[in-house]
Structure 1
Amino acid sequence: MYRDNSLIPKEAIRMAALGALSAGSRPYADIAGEVRQFAARIVGPSLDLLGSSIELLKFEGLIAPVSGEGFEDNAELRLTDAGWTALKDYLTAAVRPGANDLNKLVIGLKLRFLHLLEKEEQIEQIDNLRALYQGEHARLFDLLTHEEWQQGHLRAWIEMEISQVEDRIAWCDRLAAGL
């Protein structure tokens, strides 16, 4: 993790693999394919997000084979107690400010597996996400107040970004209210 308790790319991929096993044991190839496909659909193809191998998760004791050994025989894998703890740590990690591909992936994974947390933890994570968007809103609004930078089509773009972040804040409110 970074110093601010947010996930590095490798940890986002680990969260995806551990989360993929949260509903029960699955074959090695299914997990690997799902992680790769989910990440690619959120952020596009990225060498930075190839991440650690499932074998490393096995070596670290976060997952264990139910049958078979590993990649070679498409072993059936399951989460260990340590794996559940790691997944919860990833789900409750901070999200860094700013809109980038890693943040999109982390937020997508958190939302995908949010139901695995206790209700209070779910609300806390949604509140943290809302606070992130509020910070983004303040930054964009400040940018909008600088008339000297409003040449060309910048103002229209900033207004569009503000509208999108306001929609995200409202979405967080609706999501939290529905829990």
Structure 2
Amino acid sequence: MKDLGPTSQILDIKISRDRTNEKLWLSQESYIEKVLDKFNMGKAKPVSSPLGSHLKLSSKQSPSKAEYIAITETSKELLWMKKFLQELGLQQEMYLLYCDSQSSIHLSKNPTFHSRSKHIDVRYHWIRDALEIKLFCVEKIHTDENGSDMMTKPIPTENLQVCRKQAGLVEPLT
């Protein structure tokens, strides 16, 4: 094996570095151009958001059920991370899990079964026990402060720029 030095491209991802400012840029421009050319879309006009923010991608699951399942799955990962860091000897505080769905938060904090929760698989109700024994806490986050929205739903360009800044992402190199 031999050291080829710093890489500038891997798997069609261009890598640019600014080591003094500790910044890294990843660009898939060449890959995207290849895909567009492959499907004869190389001359298509770009749009800021291909799907209107008023459109829903799926109507099969109710939003509160999907959010509730997401809270449960995320809390499992959070618990794993907490235990892992404890094994490394790092002191852990109370973990805080943010959710933008008030109905899902209420559903996760309410240990009784009712008509709204009877259709949700029992394995997702694990979060109720975890909250009861205070493994972590779930709090509401306002949509305007939720940087993860850019990964889960179509949002207007202005909101995308805010989410990008919240996530610590910078403008691409030109």
User: Is the structural similarity TM-score above 0.5?
Assistant: no
**TM-score, normalising length from structure 2?**
0.29
- The structure in which a higher percent of residues are strand is 2
**TM-score, normalising length from structure 1?**
0.29
Report which of the two structures shows the higher radius of gyration computed on alpha carbons. Answer: 2
